């Protein structure tokens, strides 16, 4: 099930704080931090250092879910089940982790509820913290010949001139960046799938995962909400001697903000 | 590592953080426990200004109000009614607390992302945010001291006489129905320098608490400020402590400790515009305490050199003796000129108002082209030029400072001590 090709997911199915019940700090304002697109805004339990924390997602309708993403947490051990205790295929049960980000894929299921139970934190005995919980399903996986995903930072630099004429350089933290996706020799039939992706991205920000590794606790990819900025520049046919197809390039920027 | 060490490097990596605390619902309307980092939303950073204004006279001080432009593509900064808002489910955005911290990453052994803090500003959302259809929102963050403008001084029930510092303490401790009004706005306990002048029957003239604190600040020669730790401070305007920084620039060699920091000398004033040598304090209707000196034309006194410069002030909280003390203090502090300098410098974020500094600067003579045509041939004036400005290790106190968090250039307004 582990996929390594860059992948897009639909927007978070979790869009309404009323659909999530947390065993602690269940107020609307705190739960909103769990679907804000900035994982640094953490939901923090209160008084649950020694007891399990549960996060029950019950959207009210019956969506199909095949991905669970947990970002910026301090969880060391947790499980996730659906529809009152049914295990996913593949089952989600993590222990001995050190927090951070987690990505899980499983066979798509129609859910009425998903329950995440956190039993331990890293370091042990802390309040349970988590920045974002994303329930979603696959939208598009890049074909094998996707040639490159690059992240292009836009560094900011200020140069001041002192009275003697000497220069002083201030390198400001990079806060602006874009992803540039480049695919080569894409089959014409694949272009339809890419068009579907762009159509979806016109309506909703989508999740983009550069290297979706489902190995718990060792994820070194990037997961970001993105908007696709120039997605129409996709059709440049090239036919070198080793193959023929379309070159596809588009630029993505972080979507940011709330759902 | 210290901030001074990082400041003088030729390549620096500054950091800026904007954090907020929202008000929670409840009878005491306190704030959430943790600061929430919203740095990623900032599009345009403010200039932070502290101290006294450029044209200040006695008692004046700056109450900073910063303008910050934030990304609002998803309406995260809408008011609390919107489910997209960061305030959703909470009370109004009004009086949300903000903290801006800035400084430099330590550069020892390569950049290691250790923050060396330079400056901190605490503020509250005071004015209406300005929405724009260009995906941004502009918010105005007022200094925390603005909250004293929201409440009338006559909320204070104890109107007995006391030292100015005791009255200021009463304002800070103000409680209604047993709940503190101001505690929630400050991160640590207040630091109030003891005053010397007793005021009578305070808070009976319909003014705000802010106006009263400002009046007492004038009376004592003090100034209110919020410290880098977020506490209320009421402190003397006199230059305090040892020299903490030396500004060096121009043709001089960089200082081995403080480097070269001056970008330009923007203004030098002799200080004669700020002389007051005749003081009238109205402490009751048409009743004055005066401070002045006798003089004779030609005696080189302040009156002979600069004429009679009058300072009038009305404060009915004083008796005659205390009004006279106040008048004498104004006279002795302001009857002689003190030179002032306005400098633009590289990023020096850690200095405080009224701290003691030194300035060394020697101007670089302009090239001939820039002054040619103003001079007469045959007069050997160019070859002997030694620069238009020389400031020879002058000891000053910081009257005000501006830190531009977009360009990292700073402005300092200094007065010789």
Choose the weakest-confidence range: A129-133, A155-159, B152-156, B266-270: A155-159
Residue A156 has φ and ψ, to the nearest 5°, of -110, 130
Nearest CA in chain B to A42: B36
Q: Of B151, B41, B31, whose CA–CA distance to B91 is shortest? A: B31
Q: Which of B7, B12, B360, B411 to mutate to test the interface with A (most CBs of A within 10 A)?
A: B12
Say whether A24 sits in a helix, a strand or coil.
coil
* Alpha-carbon distance B252 to nearest alpha carbon in chain A (angstroms): 8
Q: Of A221, A232, A225, whose CA–CA distance to A253 is shortest? A: A225
Q: Which of A44, A160, A256 is facing B346, going by the closest CB pair?
A: A160
Task: Mark yes or no for CB contact B89/A27 under 8 Å.
Answer: yes
Q: Cα A198 from chain centroid? A: 18
Task: Mark yes or no for CB contact B36/A41 under 8 Å.
Answer: yes
DSSP-derived pairing of the beta strands B310-314 and B278-284: parallel
Q: Of B187, B204, B165, B156, whose CA–CA distance to B317 is shortest? A: B204
B412 vs B345: CA distance, rounded Å: 8
Q: Of B271, B272, B277, whose CA–CA distance to B328 is shortest? A: B277
Q: Of A227, A212, A2, A35, whose CA–CA distance to A135 is shortest? A: A35
pLDDT band at A86 (very low <50, low <70, confident <90, very high): very high
CATH architecture of the region A10-137: Sandwich (2.60)
Q: Which of A29, A162, A255 is facing B89, going by the closest CB pair?
A: A29
B321 vs B13: CA distance, rounded Å: 55
pLDDT of residue B110: 47
- Asked if B127 and B184 touch (Cβ cutoff 8 Å), the reply is no
Q: Cα A16 from chain centroid? A: 18
Task: Mark yes or no for CB contact A163/B249 under 8 Å.
Answer: yes
pLDDT of residue A7: 81
Task: Mark yes or no for CB contact A166/B11 under 8 Å.
Answer: no
Does residue A130 have a cis peptide bond before it, meaning omega lies within 30 degrees of 0? no
Class of residue A158 by CB neighbours under 10 A (exposed 0-12, middle 13-18, buried 19+): middle
Residues of B in contact with A256 (CB under 8 A): 40-41, 71, 73-74
Tell me the C-alpha to C-alpha distance, in Å, between residue B263 and each of A163, B103, B248, B348. Answer: 4, 19, 9, 12
Q: Kindly report, residue by residue over A199-228, the tens digit of the pLDDT.
A: 887 767 677 776 666 665 556 667 777 777
Say whether B94 sits in a helix, a strand or coil.
coil
pTM for the whole structure = 0.71
Q: Kindly report, residue by residue over A162-197, the tens digit of the pLDDT.
A: 988 899 999 876 555 677 777 777 788 888 888 888
B280 vs B278: CA distance, rounded Å: 7
A14 vs A57: CA distance, rounded Å: 8
* Alpha-carbon distance B109 to nearest alpha carbon in chain A (angstroms): 17
pLDDT of residue B111: 46
Name residues of chain B where pLDDT drops below 50.
Answer: 109-111
Q: Cα A7 from chain centroid? A: 10
Does B264 contact chain A (CB < 8 Å)? yes
Does residue A90 have a cis peptide bond before it, meaning omega lies within 30 degrees of 0? yes
ipTM of the complex: 0.83
Chain A to chain B Cβ contacts (< 8 Å): 100
Does B372 contact chain A (CB < 8 Å)? no
Give the Cβ contact number of residue B269 at 10 Å: 16
Say whether B144 sits in a helix, a strand or coil.
helix
Can you state the angle between helices B209-220 and B164-172, rounded to 10 degrees? 150
Q: Kindly report, residue by residue over B83-127, the tens digit of the pLDDT.
A: 888 888 888 889 999 999 999 988 764 445 678 888 999 999 988
- Domain range list for chain A: 10-137, 141-254
Contacts of B57 (CB under 8 A, 6+ apart): B274, B276, B311
Q: Kindly report, residue by residue over A33-58, the tens digit of the pLDDT.
A: 787 776 767 888 988 999 999 999 99
């Amino acid at each position: 099930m582990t996929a390594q090709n860059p992948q897009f997911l639909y927007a978070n199915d979790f869009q309404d704080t009323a659909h999530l019940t947390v065993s602690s700090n269940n107020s609307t304002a705190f739960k909103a931090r769990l679907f804000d697109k900035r994982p640094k805004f953490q939901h923090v339990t209160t008084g649950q250092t020694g007891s399990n924390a549960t996060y029950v997602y019950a959207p009210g309708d019956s969506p199909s879910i095949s991905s669970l993403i947990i970002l910026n947490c301090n969880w060391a051990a947790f499980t996730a089940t659906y529809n009152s205790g049914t295990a996913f295929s593949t089952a989600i049960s993590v222990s001995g982790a050190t927090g951070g980000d987690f990505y899980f894929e499983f066979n798509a299921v129609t859910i009425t509820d998903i329950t995440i139970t956190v039993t331990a934190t890293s370091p042990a005995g802390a309040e349970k913290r988590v920045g974002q919980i994303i329930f979603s399903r696959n939208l598009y996986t890049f074909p094998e010949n996707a040639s490159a995903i690059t992240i292009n930072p836009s560094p900011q630099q200020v140069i001041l001139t002192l009275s003697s004429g000497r220069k002083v350089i201030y390198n400001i933290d990079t806060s602006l960046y874009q992803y540039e996706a480049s695919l080569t020799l894409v089959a014409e039939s694949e272009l339809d799938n890419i068009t579907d992706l762009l159509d979806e991205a016109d309506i909703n920000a989508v999740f983009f995962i550069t290297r979706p590794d489902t190995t718990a606790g060792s994820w070194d990819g990037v997961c970001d909400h993105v908007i696709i900025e120039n997605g129409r520049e996709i059709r440049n046919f090239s036919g070198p001697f080793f193959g023929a197809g379309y070159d596809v390039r588009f630029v993505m920027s972080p979507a940011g903000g709330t759902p | 590592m210290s901030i001074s060490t990082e400041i003088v490097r030729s390549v620096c990596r500054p950091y800026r953080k904007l954090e907020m605390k929202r008000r929670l619902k409840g009878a005491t309307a306190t704030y959430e426990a943790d600061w929430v980092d919203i740095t990623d939303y900032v599009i345009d950073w403010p200039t932070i200004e502290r101290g006294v204004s450029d044209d200040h006279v006695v008692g004046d001080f700056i109450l900073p109000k910063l303008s910050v432009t934030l990304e609002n593509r998803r309406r995260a900064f809408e008011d609390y009614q919107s489910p997209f808002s960061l305030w959703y489910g909470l009370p109004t955005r009004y009086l949300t607390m903000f903290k801006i911290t800035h400084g430099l990453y330590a550069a020892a052994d390569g950049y290691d992302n250790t923050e060396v803090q330079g400056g901190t500003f605490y503020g509250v959302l005071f004015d209406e945010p300005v929405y724009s259809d260009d995906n941004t929102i502009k918010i105005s963050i007022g200094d925390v001291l603005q909250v004293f403008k929201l409440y009338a001084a006559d909320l204070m029930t104890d109107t007995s006489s006391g030292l100015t510092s005791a009255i200021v303490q009463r304002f800070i401790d103000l409680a209604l129905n047993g709940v503190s009004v101001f505690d929630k706005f400050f991160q640590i306990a207040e630091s109030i320098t003891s005053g010397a002048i007793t005021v009578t029957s305070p808070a009976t003239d319909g003014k705000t608490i802010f106006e009263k604190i400002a009046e007492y600040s004038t009376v004592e020669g003090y100034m209110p400020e919020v410290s880098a730790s977020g506490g209320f401070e009421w402190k003397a305007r006199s230059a305090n402590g040892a020299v903490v920084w030396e500004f060096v620039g121009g043709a001089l060699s960089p200082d081995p400790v403080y480097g070269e920091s001056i970008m330009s000398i923007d203004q030098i004033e002799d200080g004669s515009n700020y002389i007051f040598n005749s003081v009238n304090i109205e402490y009751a209707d048409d009743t004055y305490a005066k401070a002045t000196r006798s003089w004779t034309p030609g005696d080189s006194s302040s009156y002979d050199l600069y004429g009679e410069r009058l300072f009038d002030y009305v404060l009915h909280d004083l008796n005659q003796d205390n009004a006279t003390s106040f008048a004498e203090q104004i006279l002795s502090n302001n009857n002689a000129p003190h030179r002032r300098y306005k400098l633009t410098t590289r990023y020096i974020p850690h200095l405080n108002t009224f701290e003691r500094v030194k300035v060394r600067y020697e101007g670089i003579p302009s090239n001939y082209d820039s002054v040619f045509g103003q001079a007469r041939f045959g007069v050997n004036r160019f070859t002997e030029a030694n620069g238009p400005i020389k400031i020879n290790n002058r000891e000053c106190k910081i009257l005000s400072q501006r830190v531009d968090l977009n360009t990292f250039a700073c402005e300092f307004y200094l007065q010789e001590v």
